[in-house]
């Protein structure tokens, strides 16, 4: 089973990299880009066969290591 974790900076946390991307898109002539936020995607291969248990386990991984919950939010998707 595969799990996909999305990690984003929380709303309100300034994302300097996202801002740089927004500026660069403007420079390339793309109009109307009102905001860009950059995050991370982490794919995890799991031996588990139970989707609910796997999702709970990956949630624990997010809390323990994958996300810094002071500044980041995460979501888990079982693929």
Partner 1 sequence: MKAAVLVFPGSNCDRDLAVAFRQAGADVEMVWHKDTRLPDGVDIVGIPGGFSFGDYLRCGAIAARSPIVGALKAHVERGGYALGICNGFQVLVETGILPGALIRNAGLKFICKPVDLTVETAASDFTNGYTKGQTVTFPVAHHDGNYIAKSDTLAALNDQDRVAFRYGSDINGSAESIAGILSENRRVLGLMPHPERAADPVLGGQDGANLFRSLAIASVTA
How many alpha carbons lie under 13 Å from residue 60 in its C-beta half-sphere?
5
What percent of the residues of the chain are helix, what percent strand, and what percent coil, each to the nearest 5? 35, 30, 35
Cα 57 to Cα 17, 50, 54, 62, 74, distances in angstroms? 30, 11, 5, 9, 14
Determine if 54 is a binding residue for partner 1 (CB under 8 A): no
Out of 11, 16, 35, 47, the only residue in the binding site for partner 1 (CB under 8 A) is 16
Q: How far is the CB of 5 from partner 1 (least distance, A)?
A: 11
Determine if 63 is a binding residue for partner 1 (CB under 8 A): no
Residue with smaller CB distance to partner 1, 14 or 79: 14
Determine if 41 is a binding residue for partner 1 (CB under 8 A): no
Map tokens 């709970």 to a residue. Answer: 56
Where along the sequence are the contacts to partner 1 (CB under 8 A)? 9, 13-14, 16-17, 20, 64-66, 68, 70-71
């Amino acid at each position: 089973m595969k799990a996909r974790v999305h990690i984003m900076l929380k709303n309100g946390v300034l994302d300097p990299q996202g801002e740089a991307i927004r500026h660069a898109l403007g420079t390339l002539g793309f109009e109307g880009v009102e905001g860009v936020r950059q995050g991370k995607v982490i794919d995890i291969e799991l031996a588990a066969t139970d989707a609910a248990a796997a999702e709970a386990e990956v949630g624990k991984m997010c809390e323990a290591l994958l996300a810094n919950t002071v500044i980041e939010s995460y979501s888990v998707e079982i693929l």
